[in-house]
Amino acid sequence: MPHVQVRDLSVWYGNAQVLKAVNVDIPDKQITCIIGPSGCGKTTLLKSLNRLLELTPAARVQGKVLVDGEDIYGNHVDVVSLRKKMGLLSQKPQPLPMSIYENVAFGPKVHGVRSRKELNGIVERYLREAGLYEEVKDRLHEPAAQLSVGQQQRLCLARGLAVEPEVILCDEPTAALDPVSAQAIERRFKELSRHYTILVVTHILRQAKRLADHVIFMYMGELVEAGPARQVFESPSHPQTQAYVRGDIS
Amino acid sequence: MRAVTVFLIALPCILAVALFLRSRPILERVPVLDLLTSDVWRPSRGEFGFLPFLMGSAWVTILAMAIATPLCLLTAIYVSEYASPAFTAVFRPVIDVLAGIPSIVYGLWGVLAIVPAVERIAPFVGRHLGFVPGLSTASFVTGDCVLSGAVVLAVMVAPVIIAVSVEVLGAVPRELREAALSVGATKWQTVKLVVLRKSFAGLVAAVILGFARALGETMAVLMVVGNVANVPGSIFEAAYPLPALIANNYGEMMSVPLYDSALLLAALVLLAVVILFNLGARAALKLVTVRFRR
Amino acid sequence: MRWRRIEERVFGVLMLLATAVVVGSLVWIAGVIVYRGAGALKLSMLVQLPRGGAYGREGGILNGIVGSVLLSLPATILAGMVALPACIILQDEHAGRNPFIRSARLSLDVLWGVPSIVYGAFGYILMVYMGLRASLLAGIVAITFVQLPIVARAIDEVMRTVPLELKEAAFATGATRFEVATRVVVRQSLPGILTGLLLGFGRGIGDAAALLFTAGYTDGIPASLTEPAASLPLTVFYLLGAPYPEARAKAYAAAFVLLAIVLVVSVVSRLATAKLRRSTVI
């Protein structure tokens, strides 16, 4: 069964409809890239998956999003544990105003982990998974704000992984990074996709071509086409997809 | 236009210098340290001890801040993080109006509403909690006391603290909140562990600004605080804050030698302390916003 | 886990309580003043001078009303005359980090924090220096000092919101710095400038501490700048402690009138800003 299923999802900001009846499946343990021109609703789709849209007062959501078969917008869903399942990596790295150690330990602590020994283990493990441990192991208790932007993004990745999500949502994760750091993050994604379902919103076509196992193409709030990467890039069925993939529209 | 601006820049200096020059007579007669630490205030005998007034200001202001700070921070957090847009739309004008109410009107409210209330509760508190230092009602006479002054003052500085705090909290980027929520933190955990941490310096600055405001408040406080030149020993005793000293005695200034000089020295001290607090707070605020701009 | 929920609940309740206390205070204050003041106010009070002895037990509070206006209005104009040119210089982007501008800003910050009693004391020093007695003029000067930082800050904030692009566009047509400042920035900020002046007026009319030393008090209306002037705040202050209930009633009435004026000014300035904003470019 696909990990996440979106059924007839529509989103309004005030009177403007930003997502129009989107229907799509997100496959398990693969990297799915959401591509499309700016303003097409990619980020809105992403944010509707961990119910962050609710923070915007004017946003209205209709439709269903099923994770492992359960509608996350249902009445009895615990938003907090849902968000634990869905990690988020933002475009601009958001280190919390604390030390490197505290950043990674934030999630587990918030969920009740108290033992120092356990936290130490968690911090080391996920810093390694994010590929950051070697660079920071001697300065774990320094403020996270002192890291370079690329390091901060990997820190945010580690922080998100530390709560053991099933899905990692990424909103243009390398847009603010230099090429070397961007590459490092992409390598991490490839590694991580063995164990996690990864969803990446990106406006960089080449990045999508490098990373994606699966592709979703959106245009003006509508889902135009979705399918395996090779199929969408090499033989897209929709003329719009064709035009975008060729670079005619952006 | 340049001339006007030069005048503006020079003004605080002119202010300080003028006050200093006029307080020189008393400074030449009595060493500053004695003036500040003596608690004997008998101008007709040439004894000018400022301690009761410094302590009076301290008691009233500190108590006012102790009351105001938790109230204002809690309110600011509610308005910034939890309240609906409809509520905020109503709340904003409320704060603006509170900020605009003249001091004398606060004073009148204090006289009519707060002082009688304090009079009623004081015996009760004295009986049950009188052993606590600062709460004794041994010298309690009327409701004109430190507590009344502090309550009125607290309401007066609330708009400043709340307005600045709400601004500081609002400057925390939305994405940071989202980042915390995305690992499954609850709203309150996000506020407590992330938002407050990030805006801490700004909130401290807001409180310091409030403190500076409170120190300079004159009319409202003097109407309810009793104006007795003793160092207060309890919140139910009367006090005599520094601004009240200046305001109440300008009439007798000219008749007693050195009296005017002493009062203007008081004004100078007040000016210096208030400026210090204000500049400190502004510097802290600038630090906070500069960090955000990155 | 349990503690988390409890903590969240407790703080939620505390926050609501705190907010209720703050809002409730305003309601309480307004309530007390309106109740006592409106009760004591007779329309005749608004147009009569006090009569009947030392505390003016009869008659009205016209001296206070007229005095307050005579003190605050010129002060507002004077404050504006100083603040506007200063702000025009301050908003000049091209000056940037220049120490002149920074010290001007610093000075404004300092002036904003000075308690009005200190301005009153300063006014007194000036009075003595110039050989003046307690008078309308001295009061106007003191109130001008009180209003100046407020008006300046309000105007400064408005002028800083004028977008750089607008100024650059004006420069591109060959306008000088002075022309851009006056014809574009000031024009654009006009509603904000008016609001700033209104704000200053509202602050000035309510101030008592600065007037204690400087304006004196009188039962009449000053006929010249060298005569003392009454004011609403001082009417309240002096009459509150009077031994006669009629005099005290006038104090409450004066407070009510003062509060009403301040509220009206506040509302008018808000409405004016909203209305004028629609007619500006951005």
pLDDT at C281 over 60: no
Give the pLDDT of residue C147: 95
- Judged by a CB distance cut-off of 8 A, whether residue C52 touches chain B is no
Interface chains of chain A (3 or more CB pairs under 8 Å) = B
Q: Which range is least confidently modeled, B173-177, B210-214, C35-39, C278-282?
A: C278-282
Q: Is there a contact between A52 and B198 if contact means CB atoms under 8 Å apart?
A: no
Domain range annotation of chain B: 2-293
Q: Is there a contact between C206 and B278 if contact means CB atoms under 8 Å apart?
A: no
Kindly state the helix (H) or strand (E) to which residue B47 belongs, with its residue range.
Answer: strand B47-48
pLDDT tier at C277, thresholds 50, 70, 90: low
- Judged by a CB distance cut-off of 8 A, whether residue C96 touches chain B is no
Q: By the 8 A CB rule, do A40 and A201 touch?
A: no
What is the number of other CB atoms lying within 10 angstroms of the CB of residue A67?
20
Instruction: Identify each DSSP E strand in chain A by its residue range.
Output: 4-13, 16-26, 31-35, 59-67, 70-71, 86-89, 167-171, 197-201, 214-219, 222-228
- Judged by a CB distance cut-off of 8 A, whether residue B197 touches chain A is yes
Better-predicted residue by pLDDT, B76 or B136? B76
Give the pLDDT of residue B282: 83
- Judged by a CB distance cut-off of 8 A, whether residue B93 touches chain A is no
| DSSP three-state, residue A128 | helix
Give the pLDDT of residue A15: 86
CB nearest to A52's CB, from B176, B178, B198: B178
Q: Is there a contact between B182 and A88 if contact means CB atoms under 8 Å apart?
A: yes
% of chain B beyond a pLDDT of 70: 97
Give the pLDDT of residue C190: 84
% of chain C beyond a pLDDT of 90: 37
Q: By the 8 A CB rule, do C261 and C236 touch?
A: no
Label residue B51 exposed, middle or buried (CB < 10 Å: 0-12, 13-18, 19+). middle
pLDDT at B71 over 60: yes
Q: Which range is least confidently modeled, B287-291, C175-179, C185-189?
A: B287-291
Q: Which range is least confidently modeled, A72-86, A141-155, A186-200, C13-27?
A: A72-86
Interface chains of chain C (3 or more CB pairs under 8 Å) = B
Domains, chain A: 4-246 (3.40.50.300)
Mean pLDDT of chain B: 87
Cα angle value B194/B198/B204 (rounded, 5°):
125
Sheet containing A86-89: order of strands? A86-89, A167-171, A197-201, A31-35, A214-219, A222-228
**Which structure tokens are listed for A242?**
């064709």
Which residue carries 């309150």 as its tokens?
B188
Contacts of B85 in chain A (CB under 8 A): 57
pLDDT tier at B292, thresholds 50, 70, 90: very low
Determine the Cα–Cα distance for residues A95 and A154; give it in Å rounded to an integer: 10
Determine the Cα–Cα distance for residues B227 and B243; give it in Å rounded to an integer: 11
Q: Is there a contact between B179 and A96 if contact means CB atoms under 8 Å apart?
A: yes
Give the pLDDT of residue B232: 87
Backbone angles phi, psi at A38, to 5 degrees: -65, 145
**Which structure tokens are listed for A183?**
């590459």
Label residue C114 exposed, middle or buried (CB < 10 Å: 0-12, 13-18, 19+). buried
What is the tens place of the pLDDT at every residue in C151-162? 999 898 888 888
pLDDT at A171 over 70: yes
Q: Is there a contact between A83 and B193 if contact means CB atoms under 8 Å apart?
A: no
pLDDT at B129 over 90: no
Kindly state the helix (H) or strand (E) to which residue B48 belongs, with its residue range.
Answer: strand B47-48
Determine the Cα–Cα distance for residues A33 and B93; give it in Å rounded to an integer: 47
**Region B133-146 average pLDDT:** 80
pLDDT at C61 over 60: yes
What is the tens place of the pLDDT at every residue in C23-34? 999 899 999 999
Under CATH, to which class is C43-277 assigned? mainly alpha
What is the tens place of the pLDDT at every residue in A182-223? 888 899 899 998 999 999 999 888 899 999 999 999 988 888
**Which structure tokens are listed for B264?**
């203007």
Determine the Cα–Cα distance for residues C56 and B165; give it in Å rounded to an integer: 46
pLDDT at C102 over 80: yes
Which residue carries 């206070």 as its tokens?
C64
- Find, among C54, C21, A76, C15, the residue nearest to B81 by Cα: C15
Mean pLDDT of chain C: 86
pLDDT at B294 over 50: no
Q: Which of A179-183, B154-158, B201-205 has the highest mean pLDDT?
A: B154-158
Give the pLDDT of residue C95: 57
Better-predicted residue by pLDDT, C101 or A34? A34
HEC string for A155-193 = HHHHHHHCCCCCEEEEECCCCCCCHHHHHHHHHHHHHHC
Which residue carries 């009075």 as its tokens?
C127
Q: By the 8 A CB rule, do B43 and C143 touch?
A: no
Determine the Cα–Cα distance for residues B84 and B13; give it in Å rounded to an integer: 46
Give the pLDDT of residue C15: 94
**Region B237-249 average pLDDT:** 91
pLDDT at B207 over 90: yes
The CATH T-level fold of domain B2-293 is: MetI-like fold (1.10.3720)
Q: What's the length of chain C?
A: 282
Q: Is there a contact between C19 and B217 if contact means CB atoms under 8 Å apart?
A: no
DSSP string, A27-82: -TTSEEEEE-STTSSHHHHHHHHTT-GGGSTTEEEEEEEEETTEETTSTT--HHHH
Measure in Å the smallest separation between the Cα of A49 and chain B Cα atoms: 11
**Region A72-86 average pLDDT:** 86
Q: Which range is least confidently modeled, A202-206, B124-128, B150-154, C256-260?
A: B124-128
CB nearest to A88's CB, from B84, B179, B198: B179
What is the tens place of the pLDDT at every residue in B13-53? 999 999 999 888 888 888 888 888 888 888 878 788 889 99
pLDDT at A75 over 70: yes
CB nearest to A52's CB, from B173, B182, B186: B182
pLDDT tier at C280, thresholds 50, 70, 90: low
Give the pLDDT of residue C279: 58
HEC string for C63-101 = HHHHHHHHHHHHHHHHHHHHHHHHHHHHCCHHHCCCHHH
pLDDT at C183 over 80: no
**Region C79-91 average pLDDT:** 87
What is the number of other CB atoms lying within 10 angstroms of the CB of residue A76?
5
Which of A51, A90, A94 has the most B C-beta neighbours within 10 Å, making it the best mutation to test the interface with B? A94
Q: By the 8 A CB rule, do C151 and C195 touch?
A: no
Give the pLDDT of residue B290: 56
- Judged by a CB distance cut-off of 8 A, whether residue B100 touches chain A is no
Q: By the 8 A CB rule, do A147 and B170 touch?
A: no
Contacts of A73 (CB under 8 A, 6+ apart): A51, A61, A63, A64, A65
Q: What is the identity of the amino acid at C224?
A: S
pLDDT at C219 over 90: no
Give the pLDDT of residue B288: 67
**Region C218-234 average pLDDT:** 89
HSE-CB of A236 using CA atoms within 13 angstroms: 19
Q: Label the pairing between strands C50-51 and A214-219.
A: unpaired
Which residue carries 């600011």 as its tokens?
B76
Which residue carries 């006479």 as its tokens?
B141
Give the pLDDT of residue B293: 38
**Region A69-93 average pLDDT:** 87
Domain range annotation of chain C: 43-277
Give the pLDDT of residue B211: 93
**Region A21-29 average pLDDT:** 90
Helix-, strand-, coil-residue percentages of chain B, each rounded to 5: 75, 0, 20
Give the pLDDT of residue C79: 94
Which residue carries 């910034």 as its tokens?
B80
Kindly state the helix (H) or strand (E) to which residue B162 belongs, with its residue range.
Answer: helix B146-170
Q: By the 8 A CB rule, do A119 and A198 touch?
A: no
